């Protein structure tokens, strides 16, 4: 008892100090002490629970917990616990002896340790990251301890612990559970190699113990049970599952050691003591070489090494044939021949679970066994063996899986020994369900037809459901009709007596899903009504949710909520299968989020409140809103970022989707405040230990690109650089994609900062260089190029048009070489034309016309913006024939609209730009041509061809065409008549009034077109008085009035007695009421 108490106290000390290696030694001592019965039955009467508490405090991993549970079965502990024990388990009430002060002291110590663990549980995430390292130290220490024990002194506990560790480290499940978080910096590969090394070292120690007991002990029976073929198989399996370079060679080395041990051992005939290599020995080694062959070919590209490894795998199979199948031919049935089929199937199951992408590993093994077992007395394969390989192909989802599964099925159908069963056909249909080929549907129908034709295997409703599911997922034309036919066929077969094929609720759900995909939610709801009226089948939750999802897909929130109410009523009426679930409410919330309704946020809030009340009132925690529910609720507030942010801080657990949705709402708002708030949320994520993903960064970048601030593009590019730094530091989820780079380029494209277009093009070149170096995710696309071209269009640089066209030509060349991702679209061509219109160069219209020809040559149809830009370019070109060219483009636009292309409907801008083209031209009769276009515009509006009637800009353009008419007196006289009529029509109209440009242009027309005299003076006086009455007088109006009127009239109109004073009067000296409605914009004055 004194030694026990000393050990427990030391264990507490070392556990609180974190000396884990010392704790391991003390655990072993404590185990050995408690193995003596006198301790627990001595006079001190230490209670068993006291020892259990002590052991649970020594270590926080699985073996300590299992030891404590063994000593005190009443003490509640998990069998497999890697995380530290919570404080509640350490301070649990246990029946301590009343006369044991040591127990009371230990319990108090346990409480203190439990308090420390409660504090440490706040950083449980960091502790979980250390679990793999602690587990590794534990195993290494076990190896060192066993190797330090002299030969012949290993206890059965030692051997049992060694075998337990060997089984754990050799399994693929341990690799997923215990070292899942150690994949960075190659530590995952090192861990796998070290696991296999530990298993082989433990095997060496057990082998040495076996040799010692064989040589120096009379009774080697127990040692033979510890070291047998299965023990060696653990080491072979460990190296096979390690899947690192050289692991196959080491697995074969262990297999050779087993063969040598079998030759030297001899005499053992029972399965538990045999050193004869069995099926697993060869199979594990074969799998190791096969994996190494695939690794060499796909990951390294070394086909020579891959071929050598594959030959090694085949040689292992040949060795297995010589060792195992030879005896079968000779009629000798060794221990390995027992349950051979079950062993083969067990291997196939393991490979299908651990090697999902390598179904050919299982098939090659199956083919070899099928060929090698011919003529033997043992049965190596059965129908289930083939089914397992078919299922392996179905799991892989590879392109050739359907073909390979069909071949296996055909072999079974032609075989005299094996016959396919229901699972065989079902597995082949599963392969077809995962395939994306259109021919899979017909093949699945053929399989179903073959089943019914052979009359050997009767199909059940599961097989029919699989075929119907293939039709349903395709969603192509006629899929719903095919599902209905199969449903009718199932009903007919059930009526004939085949009860296994009777349709169930899953069958009807598939039919409903097929209608929803092909015909829409209304047809899907008709199927729902059929199910509700069915006598034997009632709709379940999946039925209602599928119907709701179809409505949510099109944003029909009204009908989605209506189906939810039907679901609730069905449950209230006794249909327990239709119990409303959280998934149903999420579907309703999704419909509100996609509806675009103004009250979507309010209705979503009411729905979430209903969920909260129902979960609290009925105790239905399945309806308690979780993070996913709140994330969808945030999406419902996407038009109100402030409300979305309130939901963010109201919810409990926030994840990266929560923050990203709110940031996306701010990115759509635009403005500097929204951008700053999105940036603040991104910073807050990192402070809250929520790791942002690429979508979160892209939302912040988009917010800065839409901020309209001067430093917005720079902020967006800084976020891009931060993403690159985090990605290079090891965060693979933050690899900048083409979408992120395009968002930054778009920010520069929308900026008016000097050099913004050049910066956008530099980023494009950087993307292209990184793509050429092998980064496929950053490949520039059409949107990227279009954004850079748009940036040059906004720059007003004289070379903008040429830079834009150069980028366009690059895109065309890349597309002609086969790069479909950069095919120019209508937006690309329109942006290039717009770049010429903003550049202001003399031959811009001609070059833009050349871009239009390239556009037509590639089969890209222009849109209304393309034609409007072209008309504007010709209007500003001042080239001979520009007016005629602009009008021809307008006529083409009208013809396309008359031919039925509703997207080519001319607009007011189209006609106004064409009128401006005539106004800025020097051709004869341009005033009349401009007026004709105005009249055509009126007729088109009256006929409904254009939506808007001519505005003041259209009328002013005609006035400008008249005012800039030069020629003989007759032409000027005709031009003034048109100008007077147009101006009077504007003045008398109720829908539009002349603006300051209209007045100044009309005064200019009077000045240029009318001869001096009373009529001219009267016209100037009337026009100027109307101008000052409307408050539209600006500097141009004043200038043209002074040019048109004599000095006496100028003095009279301005109210000056002195003529020189009137002529020198400036605009600012005029009464404010004369100029109150005129825009204070400086316009170039054409004298």
Using one digit for the tens of pLDDT, what is the confidence trace for 370-424? 888 776 666 788 899 999 999 999 988 888 888 999 899 888 888 888 888 889 8
CA–CA gap between residue 949 and residue 940 (Å, rounded): 9
Helix (H, G, I), strand (E, B) or coil at 349: helix
| DSSP one-letter string for 50-61 | HHHHHHHHH-SS
CA–CA gap between residue 416 and residue 428 (Å, rounded): 20
Are residues 81 and 62 in contact, defined by beta-carbon separation less than 8 angstroms?
Answer: yes
Give the distance between the most distant pair of CA atoms in the chain. Answer: 145
Are residues 120 and 127 in contact, defined by beta-carbon separation less than 8 angstroms?
Answer: yes
pLDDT of 267: 46
Q: Which two tokens stand for residue 763?
A: 């980023």
Of the given ranges (84-98, 124-138, 379-393, 445-459), which has the lowest mean pLDDT?
84-98
Of the given ranges (74-88, 602-616, 810-824, 854-868), which has the lowest mean pLDDT?
74-88
Using one digit for the tens of pLDDT, what is the confidence trace for 989-1016? 888 889 999 999 999 999 888 888 889 9
| DSSP one-letter string for 1030-1044 | TT---HHHHHHHHHH
CA–CA gap between residue 956 and residue 911 (Å, rounded): 12
Residue with the two structure tokens 């090394």:
197
Are residues 239 and 251 in contact, defined by beta-carbon separation less than 8 angstroms?
Answer: yes
pLDDT band for 7, please (50, 70, 90 cuts): low
Confidence check: pLDDT of 95 > 70: no
pLDDT of 254: 92
CA–CA gap between residue 96 and residue 1079 (Å, rounded): 94
pLDDT band for 659, please (50, 70, 90 cuts): very high
pLDDT of 149: 86
Which residues touch 857 (CB under 8 Å, ≥6 apart)?
none
CA–CA gap between residue 867 and residue 854 (Å, rounded): 14
443 or 216: whose pLDDT is higher?
443
Nearest to 507 by CA among 532, 483, 526: 483
CA–CA gap between residue 384 and residue 427 (Å, rounded): 11
Confidence check: pLDDT of 230 > 60: yes
pLDDT band for 88, please (50, 70, 90 cuts): very low
pLDDT of 446: 85
Are residues 551 and 566 in contact, defined by beta-carbon separation less than 8 angstroms?
Answer: no
Of the given ranges (138-142, 800-804, 1079-1083), which has the lowest mean pLDDT?
1079-1083
CA–CA gap between residue 380 and residue 768 (Å, rounded): 57
CA–CA gap between residue 941 and residue 944 (Å, rounded): 5
Nearest to 966 by CA among 1012, 925, 1019: 925
pLDDT of 326: 61
Mean pLDDT for 938-957 is 85
Please, what sign has the CA dihedral across residues 288, 289, 290, 293? Answer: positive
Q: Which two tokens stand for residue 981?
A: 């009529």
Confidence check: pLDDT of 45 > 60: no
88 or 740: whose pLDDT is higher?
740
Please, what sign has the CA dihedral across residues 300, 303, 304, 307? Answer: positive
Q: Which two tokens stand for residue 771?
A: 């793509």
Confidence check: pLDDT of 6 > 80: no
Confidence check: pLDDT of 253 > 90: yes
Residue with the two structure tokens 């709402």:
665
Mean pLDDT for 81-87 is 32
pLDDT band for 514, please (50, 70, 90 cuts): very high
pLDDT of 736: 87
Mean pLDDT for 21-50 is 52
pLDDT of 707: 86
Using one digit for the tens of pLDDT, what is the confidence trace for 573-601? 999 999 999 999 999 999 999 988 888 99
CA–CA gap between residue 161 and residue 515 (Å, rounded): 59
Nearest to 749 by CA among 714, 720, 713: 713
pLDDT of 606: 92
Confidence check: pLDDT of 515 > 80: yes
HEC string of 841-883 equals: CCCHHHHHHHHHHHHHHCCCCCCHHHHHHHHHHHHHHCCCCHH
Mean pLDDT for 233-238 is 92
Q: Which two tokens stand for residue 748?
A: 């520069």
Confidence check: pLDDT of 86 > 50: no
Mean pLDDT for 205-223 is 70
Mean pLDDT for 441-457 is 79
Residue with the two structure tokens 């108090």:
108
CA–CA gap between residue 653 and residue 460 (Å, rounded): 45
Mean pLDDT for 1066-1086 is 72
CA–CA gap between residue 166 and residue 515 (Å, rounded): 54
pLDDT of 474: 77
Helix (H) or strand (E) holding 522: helix 521-533
| DSSP one-letter string for 503-519 | --HHHHHHHHHHHHHHT
Q: Which two tokens stand for residue 700?
A: 């912040």
* Percent of all residues in the chain with a pLDDT value above 70, rounded to a whole number: 81
pLDDT of 50: 54
Which residues touch 883 (CB under 8 Å, ≥6 apart)?
874, 875, 914, 917, 918, 920, 921, 923, 926, 929
Using one digit for the tens of pLDDT, what is the confidence trace for 328-341? 555 555 444 457 88
Q: Give 335's Cβ-side CA count (13 Å radius).
A: 16
Question: Any idea what DSSP says for residue 46?
Answer: -
pLDDT band for 128, please (50, 70, 90 cuts): very low
Q: Which two tokens stand for residue 766?
A: 């950087």
CA–CA gap between residue 442 and residue 553 (Å, rounded): 29
Confidence check: pLDDT of 102 > 70: no
pLDDT band for 287, please (50, 70, 90 cuts): very high
pLDDT band for 105, please (50, 70, 90 cuts): very low
Average pLDDT, whole number, for the chain?
80
**Beta carbons within 10 angstroms of residue 306's beta carbon:** 18
Question: Any idea what DSSP says for residue 186?
Answer: G
Q: Give 819's Cβ-side CA count (13 Å radius).
A: 17
Helix (H, G, I), strand (E, B) or coil at 92: coil
pLDDT band for 31, please (50, 70, 90 cuts): low
Nearest to 258 by CA among 170, 340, 190, 320: 320
pLDDT band for 35, please (50, 70, 90 cuts): low
Confidence check: pLDDT of 179 > 50: no
pLDDT band for 139, please (50, 70, 90 cuts): confident
Compute the chain's Rg from CA coordinates.
Answer: 43
Nearest to 948 by CA among 897, 989, 895, 907: 907
Judged by phi (left if over 0) then psi (alpha if -120 to 50, else beta), residue 1083 lies in beta
416 or 780: whose pLDDT is higher?
780
Mean pLDDT for 867-881 is 81
Q: What is the CA 55 to chain-centroid distance, rounded?
A: 47
pLDDT of 311: 93
Helix (H) or strand (E) holding 531: helix 521-533
């Amino acid at each position: 008892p004194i030694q026990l108490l000393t050990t427990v106290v030391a264990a507490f000390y070392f556990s609180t100090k974190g000396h884990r290696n010392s704790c391991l030694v003390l655990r072993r001592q404590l185990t050995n002490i408690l193995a003596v019965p006198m301790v627990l039955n001595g006079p001190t009467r230490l209670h068993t629970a006291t020892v259990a508490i002590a052991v649970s405090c020594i270590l926080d991993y699985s073996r300590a917990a299992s030891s404590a549970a063994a000593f005190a079965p009443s003490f509640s502990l998990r069998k497999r616990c890697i995380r530290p024990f919570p404080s509640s388990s350490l301070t649990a009430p246990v029946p301590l002896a009343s006369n044991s002060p040591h127990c009371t002291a230990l319990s108090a110590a346990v409480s203190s340790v439990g308090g420390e663990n409660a504090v440490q549980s706040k950083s449980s995430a960091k502790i979980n990251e250390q679990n793999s390292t602690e587990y590794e130290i534990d195993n290494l220490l076990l190896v060192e301890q066993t190797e330090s024990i002299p030969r012949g002194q290993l206890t059965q506990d030692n051997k049992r612990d060694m075998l337990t560790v060997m089984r754990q480290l050799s399994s693929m499940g341990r690799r997923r559970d215990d070292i899942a978080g150690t994949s960075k910096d190659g530590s995952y590969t090192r861990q796998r190699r070290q696991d296999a090394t530990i298993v082989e070292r433990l095997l060496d120690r057990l082998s040495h113990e076996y040799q010692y007991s064989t040589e120096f002990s009379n009774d080697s029976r127990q040692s033979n049970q510890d070291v047998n073929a299965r023990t060696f198989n653990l080491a072979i399996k460990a190296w096979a599952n390690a899947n690192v370079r050289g692991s196959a060679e080491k697995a074969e080395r262990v297999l050779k050691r087993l063969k040598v041990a079998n030759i030297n051992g001899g005499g053992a005939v029972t399965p538990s003591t045999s050193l004869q290599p069995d099926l697993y020995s060869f199979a594990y080694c074969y799998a190791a070489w096969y994996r190494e062959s695939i690794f060499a070919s796909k990951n390294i590209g070394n086909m020579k090494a891959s071929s050598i490894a594959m030959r090694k795998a085949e040689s292992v199979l040949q060795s297995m044939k010589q060792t195992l199948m030879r005896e079968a031919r000779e009629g000798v049935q060794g221990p390995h021949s027992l349950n051979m089929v079950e062993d083969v199937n067990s291997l196939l199951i393991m490979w299908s679970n651990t090697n999902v992408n390598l179904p050919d590993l299982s098939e090659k093994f199956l083919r070899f066994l099928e060929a090698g077992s011919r003529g033997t007395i043992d049965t190596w394969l059965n129908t289930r063996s083939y089914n397992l390989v078919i299922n392996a192909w179905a799991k892989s989802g590879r392109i050739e899986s359907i073909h390979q599964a069909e071949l296996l099925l055909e072999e079974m159908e032609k075989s005299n020994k094996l016959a396919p069963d229901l699972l065989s056909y079902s597995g082949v249909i599963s392969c077809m369900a995962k395939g994306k080929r259109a021919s899979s549907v017909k093949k699945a129908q053929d399989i179903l037809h073959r089943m019914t034709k052979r009359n050997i295997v009767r199909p059940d409703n599961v097989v029919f459901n699989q075929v119907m599911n293939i039709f349903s997922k395709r969603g192509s034309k006629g899929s719903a009709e095919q599902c209905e036919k199969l449903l009718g066929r199932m009903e007919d077969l059930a009526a004939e007596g085949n009860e296994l094929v009777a349709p169930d609720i899953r069958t009807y759900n598939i039919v409903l899903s097929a209608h929803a995909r092909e015909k829409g939610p209304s047809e899907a709801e008709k199927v729902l009504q059929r199910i509700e009226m069915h006598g034997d089948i009632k709709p379940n939750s999946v039925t209602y949710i599928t119907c709701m999802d179809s409505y949510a897909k099109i944003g029909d929130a009204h009908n989605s909520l209506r189906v939810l109410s039907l679901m609730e009523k069905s449950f209230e009426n006794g249909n327990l299968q239709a119990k409303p679930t959280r998934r149903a409410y999420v579907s309703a919330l999704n419909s509100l989020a996609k509806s675009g309704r103004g009250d979507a946020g309010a209705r979503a809030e009411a729905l979430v409140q209903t969920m909260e009340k129902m979960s609290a009132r009925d105790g239905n925690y399945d309806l308690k809103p979780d993070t996913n529910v709140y994330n969808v609720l945030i999406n419902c507030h996407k038009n109100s970022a402030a409300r979305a942010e309130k939901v963010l801080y109201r919810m409990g657990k926030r994840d990266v989707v929560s923050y990203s949705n709110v940031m996306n709402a701010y990115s759509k708002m635009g403005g500097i405040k929204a951008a700053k708030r999105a940036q603040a949320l991104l910073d807050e994520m990192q402070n809250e230990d929520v790791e942002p993903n690429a979508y979160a960064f892209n939302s912040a970048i988009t917010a800065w690109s839409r901020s309209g601030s001067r430093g917005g593009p720079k902020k967006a590019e800084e976020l891009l650089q931060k993403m690159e730094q985090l990605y290079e530091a090891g965060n693979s989820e933050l690899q900048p994609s083409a979408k992120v780079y395009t968002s930054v380029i778009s920010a520069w494209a929308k900026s008016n900062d000097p050099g913004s277009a050049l910066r956008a093009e530099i980023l494009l070149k950087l993307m292209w260089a990184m793509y050429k170096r092998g980064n496929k995710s950053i490949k520039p696309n059409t949107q990227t190029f279009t954004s850079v071209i748009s940036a040059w269009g906004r720059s007003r640089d004289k070379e903008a048009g040429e830079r834009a066209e150069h980028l366009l030509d690059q895109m065309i060349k890349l597309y002609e070489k086969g790069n479909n991702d950069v095919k120019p679209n209508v937006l690309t061509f329109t942006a290039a034309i717009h770049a010429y219109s903003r550049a202001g160069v003399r031959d811009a219209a001609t070059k833009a016309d050349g871009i239009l020809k390239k556009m037509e040559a590639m089969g890209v149809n222009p849109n209304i913006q393309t034609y409007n830009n072209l008309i504007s370019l010709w209007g500003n070109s001042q080239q001979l024939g520009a007016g005629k060219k602009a009008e021809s483009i307008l006529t083409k636009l009208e013809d396309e609209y008359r031919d039925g292309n509703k997207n080519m409907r001319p607009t007011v801008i189209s006609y106004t730009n064409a009128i401006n083209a005539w106004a800025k031209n020097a051709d004869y009769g341009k005033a009349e041509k401009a007026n004709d276009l105005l009249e055509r515009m009126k007729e088109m509006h009256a006929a409904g061809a254009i939506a808007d009637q001519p505005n003041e800009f259209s009328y002013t353009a005609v006035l400008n065409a008249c005012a800039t008419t030069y020629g003989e007196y007759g032409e000027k006289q005709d031009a003034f008549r048109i100008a007077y009529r147009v101006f009077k029509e504007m003045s008398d109209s109720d829908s539009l009034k002349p603006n300051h440009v209209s007045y100044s242009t009309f005064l200019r027309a009077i000045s240029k077109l009318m001869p001096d005299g009373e009529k001219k003076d009267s016209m100037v006086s009337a026009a100027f008085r109307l101008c000052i009455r409307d408050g539209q007088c600006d500097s141009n109006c004043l200038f043209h009035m002074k040019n048109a009127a004599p000095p006496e009239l100028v003095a009279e109109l301005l109210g000056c007695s002195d003529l020189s004073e009137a002529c020198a009067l400036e605009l600012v000296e005029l009464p404010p009421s004369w100029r109150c409605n005129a825009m204070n914009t400086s316009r170039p004055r054409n004298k």
